[in-house]
Structure 1
Amino acid sequence: MKRAYSVSNVLNKKFQTMPFKDEWNDTFGCPSKEFSAIIWGDSGNGKTDMMIQFAKYLCNFGRVAYNSMEEGVSHTFQMAMQRHYMNAVEKEFILLDREPWDDMLQRMKKHKSPDFLIVDSVQYTGVDRRKYKQLKELMKKKGKGLLFLSHAQGKNPKGALADFIRYDVDLKIFVEGFKAFPGGRLNGGGQPFTIWQEGAAKYWSKVQ
């Protein structure tokens, strides 16, 4: 049986929050280091660029592992990394080339595993809710952040697992027209994040 917490236990409990600044604070506030998130959107709207920018920013707070289960080490992913000058976080960022789920889980169980794990994308994991929850509980127990990228179906994540993850995680980030719209359990923030200024201006001028 798990421990029951008193009111004072909860009120006095310390959480390690990350002091996000500038536009990152405006959008995401100051999340706990063990936060969970899902980013989804239609192809060509900027969701991969959003995740890479997010990964780069998280490198200010620890090491980041990005498991590219969909693209792997590809030319298009290389170009995305070049666009966002990922060489600046050479020591804090690693790219996993389509690493299978169970191997990824074993990697994160290691003593000096990365502080944040990004899984791209949900549709290429090949796992069920049970395996997802196993990873999420491991990351939470170790005080590490977990992020997922997902395809979209309309305004929602595509597929049963992606939809389940959306309801389970802390941050829910919908991407459209090179803007990211945050929702969920935010600690401050709430403003849209512009992924690409020129692309966003062109897209939203047509929509409006």
Structure 2
Amino acid sequence: MKRGLSMNDLKSKKHETFEFTGALHEAFGNPETTGVWLVWGNSGGGKTSFMLQLCMELAKHGRVVYNSLEEGTRKTLKDSIEKLGLEAPKSRFIFVREDQEEFEKRLSKNRAPKIAVIDSFQYMGMSFEQYAAFRDRHSNKLLIFTSHADGKKPYGRPAKKVLYDADLKIWVEGYKAYSNGRYIGENGGEFTIWQEGHEQYYGRNHEQNLLDNED
């Protein structure tokens, strides 16, 4: 049986973290470089735009593979990249579209990327038990899952369980990302993805609320 850790052991333990800068640091601080993050939201709320911006920052710290199961390499993904004006070295940020078996082979290679994005949890088709086994097999990496939403919660029972397991939980709505636990930066955990889109979204919602109240 292994010896338990004392409080001093825990205090002296070193954790490797991402040294985020700018708005991402203000929202999420410096999260650990391994573990599980979950990003969820409804369609049209800015989830893809947020993921691309996040991956650009992560690519400064290590190689990123983005498994785009939903959009693949369709024009919509290209349009999002061009709208945001994003550029990254080819070797630091790559896109693939692979099922779990193929993706596992990629992640198991000696020089595999240390940061893996799965877009989305639903399209990968995992049960929670399959997710937990996948997580444990790649515990030396950062695994980021996106998820559809059911109201303001991840869609489906397995994804809801992942929410409770994840280290960083990010809800996206109206072109704004909100940290829901464990890593919250100086500004309270809010990151504006696209200011104009955010203002338009809440302007529309305010107008709709006024109309609803008139009824």
TM-score computed with the length of structure 2 as normaliser: 0.89
Matched letter for residue 58 of structure 2: L
Q: Distance in 1 between matches of 2:170 and 2:192?
A: 12
**CA–CA distance in 1 between the matches of 2:83 and 2:130?**
34
Which structure 2 residues correspond to residues 113-128 of structure 1 after superposition, within 5 A? 113-128=112-127
Aligned to 1:62: 62
Unmatched 5+ stretches in structure 2: 207-215
Cα deviations by residue, 1:117-151 (Å, 9 ceiling, x for unpaired): 000011111121122112212332x2x21111111
Aligned positions of 1:48-197 closer than 5 A: 48-97=48-97, 99-140=98-139, 142=140, 144-186=141-183, 188-189=185-186, 190-197=188-195
Give the conservation status (yes or no) of the 8 Å contact 2:37–2:169. Answer: yes
Query: CA–CA distance in 1 between the matches of 2:95 and 2:18?
Result: 23
- 3-state SS of 1:30 partner: coil
Deviations 1:53-110 (A, max 9, x none): 111110011000000111212111121222233433322001012x011221121122
Structure 1 residues not aligned, in runs of 5+:
none
Deviation at 1:39, TM superposition (A): 0.9
CA 1:25–1:137: 2 relative to 1, 3 Å: same
Change (3 A) 1:2 1:183: farther
Contact 2:27-2:184 at 8 Å conserved across structures: no
Query: If the length of structure 1 is used for normalisation, what is the TM-score?
Result: 0.92
How many pairs are equivalent?
A: 205
For the Cα contact (< 8 Å) 1:116–1:145, is it kept in 2?
Answer: yes
Give, in whole Å, the separation in 2 of the partners of 1:136 and 1:187.
23
Mapped contact 1:28–1:182 kept (Cα < 8 A): yes
Q: Is the 8 A contact 1:63 1:92 kept in 2?
A: yes
Quick one: distance in 1 between partners of 2:106 and 2:5? 32
Cα distance in 1 between the residues matched to 2:154 and 2:162: 9
Q: Percent sequence identity over matched residues? A: 38
**Most deviating of 84-93 and 64-73:** 84-93
SS in structure 2 of the partner of residue 88 of structure 1: coil
Aligned residues: CA RMSD: 1.6
Distance in 1 separating the partners of 2:192 and 2:89: 21
Largest Rg, 1 or 2: 2
Q: Do the aligned residues in 2 keep the contact of 1:34 with 1:139 (CA within 8 Å)?
A: no
| Amino acid paired to 2:73 | V
